[in-house]
Amino acid sequence: MRSAGAWPESEALNLSKLAIGVLASGRGSNLAAIMAAIDRGEIAGQIKVVISDHGQAPALERARRAGIKALPILRAQYESKRQFEAALAAALQEAKVELVVLAGFMRLLSADFVAQFPGRIMNIHPALLPSFPGLEAQRQAVDYGVRVSGCTVHFVDQGMDSGPVILQATVPVLPTDSPEELAARILVQEHRLYPEAVSLYAAGRLSIRGRKVIIQEEEKNES
């Protein structure tokens, strides 16, 4: 099983299709972008399961239409967060997932859950971390008056939006921007950046060294 945190720094990997599990709470637009990239052959992977903590989440319907297992796991069904996360982990493990992708999953995962998938959970955040972590990042950026914002794909650690950065993309923040206008501009970059990060992971090109994510050069076949 692949783990970015455990890969030797100079190892050349010959990898088959990456087994991906997606956690989503809402519409799943980043899920759709990743699915499209897989269909175009840009990601050597396959989504094995999409899990949502909302039974009617559009992300689940996206998965069903694509023939992907769609599984609602609701927090209200469990007495504790620990039991809820145990159900999430069990479903991911049953699907033999190698990479967990958070696509608008609106719950902070515990350190115990993260420890079960070390270096194997990705998230995307609509700001240039470490600036503006947490909720309403676009509103934070507009209210602060920054000139540039963007999005960050990162590995998940035990903190809130604090894991090692994989990729970032920038967008301008206009003086007249509302949080919604900025969010729409950032979302365009999210849909480009997240599939790229997953593709790099699937190709075995990411390794973690301390707080830094190293992107290995792509090997070229010589004729």
* Residue numbers annotated as active site: 125
Q: CA gyration radius for the chain?
A: 17
Q: Which of 170, 169, 162, 164 is nearest to 193 (CA)?
A: 169
Q: Which of 166, 164, 150, 165 is nearest to 201 (CA)?
A: 166
Residue 221 CB partners (closer than 8 Å, separation 6+): none
Angle ∠(137,142,146) on CA atoms, nearest 5: 100
CA distance 204 to 78: 36
CA distance 28 to 2: 25
Q: Which residue type does 223 have?
A: S
CA distance 215 to 196: 12
102 bridge partner residues: 23, 123
